[in-house]
């Protein structure tokens, strides 16, 4: 009989050593709460220079010029300048006096007769004279014609004769004005 061949017996394999279990690790330290980082302050940027804005409505020009009283050849004043007469009451009548106000005109507020009995009264004004033609022109200027009157009374006990000076005064709506001397009268008041 033959002999069975010898077999190499393997040495028993060693069981692997169990791997070391990791030690419990300390929890990772959380970083300390840090102060919130200071955000840099917004730098002050210079304000943009204020430039005038173009507005939708154009600026209204200002009326700085005085109106002008115009005495033409057809101007009428009664009694006439330089008159000497006897009367305790009379009317001064004006017709065809014109007023011009250059552009930009604010328009005419009024034109009046004013007079003074020298040594006896202050300045006395009539009501505004009536306008018979004209007004605001399309170019922004003013031109108008006027007429009207004022009653004058002289006191009997004033020393005769008295001198009465007469002017016209025109005022525009911006407060500019013109004054023109138009007559001087010498008047005696006689009791009727």
Q: What is the pLDDT along the chain (192 residues), one digit of tens a residue?
A: 455 555 555 555 555 555 555 555 555 555 555 555 555 555 555 555 555 555 566 677 898 899 999 999 999 999 999 999 999 999 999 999 999 999 999 999 999 999 999 999 999 999 999 999 999 999 999 999 999 999 999 999 999 899 999 999 999 999 999 999 999 999 999 765
Residue with tokens 């013109």: 178
Give the angle 71-72-75 at the CA atoms, nearest 5°.
Answer: 80
User: Residue 104 carries which DSSP code?
Assistant: S
In contact, 99 and 67? CB cutoff 8 Å? yes
117 C-beta neighbours (distance < 10 Å), count: 19
Any idea of the CA torsion for 97, 102, 106, 108, to the nearest 10 degrees?
0
Which phi-psi region, left, alpha or beta, contains residue 88 (left: φ > 0; alpha: ψ -120 to 50)? alpha
């Amino acid at each position: 009989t033959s002999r069975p061949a010898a077999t190499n017996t393997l040495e028993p394999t060693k069981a692997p050593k169990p791997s070391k279990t990791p030690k419990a690790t300390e929890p990772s330290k959380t970083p300390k709460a840090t102060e919130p980082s200071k955000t840099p302050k917004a730098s002050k940027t210079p304000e943009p220079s204020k430039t005038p804005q173009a507005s939708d409505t154009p600026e209204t020009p200002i009326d700085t010029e005085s109106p002008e009283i115009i005495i033409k050849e057809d101007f009428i004043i009664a009694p006439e300048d330089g008159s000497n007469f006897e009367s305790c009451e009379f009317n001064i009548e004006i017709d065809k006096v014109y007023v011009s106000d250059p552009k930009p005109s604010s328009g005419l507020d009024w034109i009046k007769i004013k007079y003074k009995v020298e040594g006896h009264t202050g300045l006395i004004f009539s009501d505004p004279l009536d306008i018979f033609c004209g007004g605001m022109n399309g170019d922004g200027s003013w031109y108008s014609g006027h007429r009207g009157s004022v009653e004058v009374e002289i006191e009997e006990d004033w020393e005769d004769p008295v001198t009465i000076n007469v002017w016209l005064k025109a005022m525009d709506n911006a407060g500019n004005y013109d004054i023109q001397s138009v007559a001087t009268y010498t008047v005696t008041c006689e009791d009727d």
